Amino acid sequence: MKKSVKITLWLVFCFVTGAPAFAQGYVELVDSAYAALERDDLSRAADYVKRAIEADPGNERNVLLFANLGSIQHQQGQLKEAAESYSLALNYKPTAMPILLARAATYLELGAESKAYIDYCNVLDQDIENHEALTFRAYIAVHQRMYDVARADYGRLLALDPKDAGARFGLAMLNQKQERLAEATEQLSSLIQDFPKESDYLIARANVLTDRELYDLALLDMESALKLTPQDPYVYATRAAIYLRMGRHKRQARADLDHAVQLGLSRADLADLYNKL
């Protein structure tokens, strides 16, 4: 169970225990919800929270109950319901940044990038240096081809922390998309130097080197990645893609694809590559 849910419900309980006597039923239900959370009984906790809201629907403290209900539903995998609960919480307090961030993250998991983008913008309107909002708005902006927004957000992140690995990697991937391949190569090389045991950076640089038609260097990166993560199917799939981009070595490419399937990738995921053999 996530600690944040416990903490928020405890705050609600502290608030309502000081409330007038007419709210006693409300207090008892919130107390029961907290006790259920302590037992990791999420379903019962959600039920008590809903009953508390029904007991006093006009209570201004329901902002926290709806936020907690959203957190519980998120942990249960009920993403649509969680987004709805966060929205109800925001009806009470539209500018609450923790709730905006929670709803944005839920929207991202639902694939509703445009809605998540708006929430992250609303957070950044209040706190232009919010790391989470900058990181994920940049991520969405790249997907939506709003490259100027993404570049500005990554730039702000790096101004706040030049060593931010996520921002450095995101900027490198953006440069690859915009065909600024020399910059992308340099940025990924810097990440590899700083994090020599991270195979993802080697795979990413291999892809950039492939775009530059520097195939031998790309294959060297794949050899290094395989030494670090020999059971990663994506490494074999990536090397197969490089072989196919070279226009030769189809036998090696097939062997890598077959090995990737043995390690867990489906042939359907690799259908485009198999069709090029």
Amino acid making up residue 26: Y
In the structure, what pLDDT confidence band is assigned to residue 13 with cuts at 50, 70 and 90? very low
1-94: CATH architecture: Alpha Horseshoe (1.25)
% of the chain surpassing 70 pLDDT: 91
pLDDT tens for residues 126-163?
999 999 999 999 999 999 999 999 999 999 999 999 99
d(CA 186, CA 198): 16
pLDDT of residue 152: 98
Q: What is the pLDDT of residues 48-64, one digit of tens each?
A: 889 888 888 888 888 98
Task: Kindly tell me if the per-residue pLDDT of 7 is higher than 70.
Answer: no
With a pLDDT cut of 90, the percent of the chain lying above it is: 76
Residue 3: per-residue pLDDT: 43
pLDDT score, position 23: 52
Report the pLDDT value the prediction gives residue 121, as an integer from 0 to 100. Answer: 98
- Given a contact cutoff of 8 angstroms between Cβ atoms, the answer to whether 167 and 158 are in contact is yes
**DSSP secondary structure string, the chain?**
--HHHHHHHHHHHHHHHTS-GGGHHHHHHHHHHHHHHHTT-HHHHHHHHHHHHHH-TT-TTHHHHHHHHHHHHHHTT-HHHHHHHHHHHHHH-TT-HHHHHHHHHHHHHHT-HHHHHHHHHHHHHH-TT-HHHHHHHHHHHHHTT-HHHHHHHHHHHHHH-TT-HHHHHHHHHHHHHTT-HHHHHHHHHHHHHH-TT-HHHHHHHHHHHHHTT-HHHHHHHHHHHHHH-TT-HHHHHHHHHHHHHHT--HHHHHHHHHHHHHTT--TTTTHHHHTT-
pLDDT computed for residue 35 by the predictor? 86
Going from the C-alpha of 166 to that of each of 114, 161, 193, 209, 270, the distances in angstroms are 21, 11, 15, 20, 27
8 confidence band (pLDDT: 50, 70, 90): low
Query: For residue range 251-262, what is the model confidence (pLDDT) as tens digits?
Result: 999 999 999 999
pLDDT band at 24 (very low <50, low <70, confident <90, very high): low
- In this predicted structure, which of 8-17, 98-107, 189-198 has the lowest mean pLDDT? 8-17
Domain positions in the chain = 1-94
Is residue 209's pLDDT more than 60? yes
- The mean pLDDT value of the chain amounts to 91
pTM (two decimals): 0.85
Structure confidence at residue 30 (pLDDT): 84
